[in-house]
Amino acid sequence: MSAPRRLLLVNGPNLNLLGTREPQIYGSQTLEDVEALVVATAKSRGFEVRAVQSNHEGVLIDAIHEARSDCAGIVINPGGLTHTSVVLRDALSGVALPIAEVHISNVMAREPFRQHSYVADVALVHVVGEGVAGYATAVERLIDVIAGQADG
């Protein structure tokens, strides 16, 4: 049986407000723009995408668990859960899939509490501060890892 050719795209709390929430930090592109970019980038490499966004941690964890059966990797912007959720980190670790962590803003140059990521140690790919375009970078790098063309 061949490996699945699908990625799970996970966007955490408040990312549904992209385009209107603090555009000076997050830009004017919407979540729909993000999803379209990820789908197009993945499609160019022969992958499908299943996307989920939720403001509820349990919904995200359930989607991550479900990815074990039909996804080759996960691209995730955990939003504020990046800095608070051991449970989300454990879900990502538990599914044993390659993970790409992406953040629109440069969280390392922001408030001190944003500079710690519970996801960082389980992610193989990290893309920070590239705006929405960083999602495409994350997809490309993650697919390279999945294809054995990069270590992360």
Burial of 8 (0-12, 13-18, 19+ CB in 10 A): buried
pLDDT below 50 — which residues of the chain? 1
Residue 5 counted as an annotated binding residue: no
Residue 45 counted as an annotated binding residue: no
The pLDDT value given to residue 149: 84
3-class SS at 31? helix
The pLDDT value given to residue 31: 97
Secondary-structure class of domain 6-146 per CATH: alpha beta
Domain residue ranges of the chain, discontinuous segments joined by +: 6-146
What residues act catalytically?
26, 103
The pLDDT value given to residue 1: 46
The pLDDT value given to residue 109: 67
Residue 104 counted as an annotated binding residue: yes
Report the sign of the C-alpha dihedral through residues 143, 98, 139, 106, in that order: negative
Residue 93 counted as an annotated binding residue: no
